[in-house]
């Protein structure tokens, strides 16, 4: 059975979870603070209301999945820059902004995966071929490339891929080998399998629901098993790692771990699973953000 771990991204300087409770979380992204819905914050807030009232913006949800709008209380730049210090002695620099989908262009809790990848790639002493599916604004791709990997980044959103390329320039990584692909993840992997393309590392961060550039439907419970099966056909003889992170679903980490364990059964390695958590500054509580499973050959 895999080990169970609460993974914290503890090296942030530009991000903090300031407080949470009553179905909300108060966060600092660089020079701005925001209040966003968080259904799992089922306790009382620790900070006084005056601290919450001082937030630059509040996300007001609508009845639609992830829909809503930002109620900005103070002036906020259209976009601003944040930094994350990688263990490779280089910094990720990237733009963030308020978006209609309540997100800001970075999921801070996954930074623990960035550190893990950077360490794995450097210890391998080779130049692994890494596939990042549902790559969003490219931060995992940039972390892998900064550590020495050759990366293929796939996302169905042209806007997200453009944003990722801007982050590549900001981070001073324009010379790193990254292929930027706007495509449906499942279709792309199926084509790669037919071509016989092999990858040494896979990063998989699927949404609960999504659409490909040609209207392809993605539903995590229905689509993930097929995708994992196709990814298995694209793995090299000696893969380095496979990382799967799942958000916004009522899934246990053990279910994700067992799916990855089945996928990697012919390889020798270790499997770790658990929850990505963020430690609150106000009361030192842990807020669970996602479940994950992580296979490693090391």
Q: Where are the domains of the chain?
A: 3-10+79-296, 19-72
pLDDT in tens, 203-217: 999 877 566 666 666
Give ∠ CA 101-245-257 in degrees, rounded to 5.
150
Give me the residue label for tokens 């900005």: 72
- The CATH number of domain 3-10+79-296, selected from 2.70.70.10, 3.40.190.10, 3.40.50.150, 3.30.70.2860: 3.40.50.150
Handedness of CA 199, 165, 67, 16 (dihedral sign): positive
Give the helix/strand (H/E) hosting 224: helix 220-232
Q: Give the single-character DSSP code of 170.
A: H
C-alpha 134/C-alpha 181 separation (Å) is: 10
Q: pLDDT digit of tens for each residue in the chain (298 aa)? A: 678 999 999 999 999 999 999 999 999 999 999 999 999 999 999 999 999 999 999 999 987 666 889 999 999 999 999 999 998 778 999 999 999 888 999 999 999 999 999 999 999 989 999 999 999 999 999 999 999 999 999 999 999 999 999 999 999 999 999 999 999 999 999 999 999 999 999 999 987 756 666 666 657 667 788 899 999 999 999 999 999 999 866 678 898 999 999 999 999 999 999 999 999 999 999 999 999 999 999 8
Contact call for residues 40 and 287 (beta carbons, < 8 A): yes
C-alpha 73/C-alpha 208 separation (Å) is: 30
Contact call for residues 133 and 199 (beta carbons, < 8 A): no
C-alpha 253/C-alpha 255 separation (Å) is: 5
Domain 19-72 has CATH 1.10.600.10: no
């Amino acid at each position: 059975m895999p080990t169970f771990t609460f993974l914290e991204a503890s090296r942030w300087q530009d991000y903090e979870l300031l407080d949470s409770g009553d179905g909300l979380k108060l966060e600092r992204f660089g020079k701005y603070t925001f209040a966003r819905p968080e259904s799992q914050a089922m306790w009382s807030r620790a900070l006084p209301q005056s601290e919450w009232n001082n937030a630059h913006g509040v996300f007001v949800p609508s009845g639609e999945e992830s829909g809503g709008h930002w109620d900005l209380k103070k002036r906020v730049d259209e976009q601003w820059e944040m930094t994350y210090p990688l263990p490779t002695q280089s910094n990720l620099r990237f733009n963030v902004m308020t978006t209609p989908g309540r997100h800001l262009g970075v999921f801070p809790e996954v930074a623990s995966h960035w550190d893990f990848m950077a360490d794995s790639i450097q210890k391998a002493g080779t130049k692994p071929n890494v596939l990042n599916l549902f790559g969003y604004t490219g931060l995992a791709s940039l972390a892998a490339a900064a550590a020495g990997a050759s990366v293929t980044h796939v996302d169905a959103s042209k806007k997200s891929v453009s944003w990722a390329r801007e982050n590549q320039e900001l981070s001073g990584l324009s010379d790193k080998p990254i292929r930027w692909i706007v495509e449906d993840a499942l279709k792309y992997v199926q084509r790669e399998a037919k071509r016989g393309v092999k990858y040494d590392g896979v990063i998989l961060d699927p949404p609960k629901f999504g659409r490909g550039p040609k209207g392809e439907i993605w539903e995590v419970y229905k689509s993930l098993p097929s995708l994992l099966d196709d990814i298995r056909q694209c793995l090299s003889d000696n893969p380095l790692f496979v990382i799967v992170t799942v958000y916004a679903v009522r899934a246990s980490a053990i279910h994700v771990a067992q799916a990855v364990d089945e996928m990697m059964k012919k390889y020798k390695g270790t499997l770790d699973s658990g929850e990505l958590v963020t430690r609150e500054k106000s009361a030192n509580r842990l807020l669970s953000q996602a479940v994950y499973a992580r296979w490693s050959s090391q």
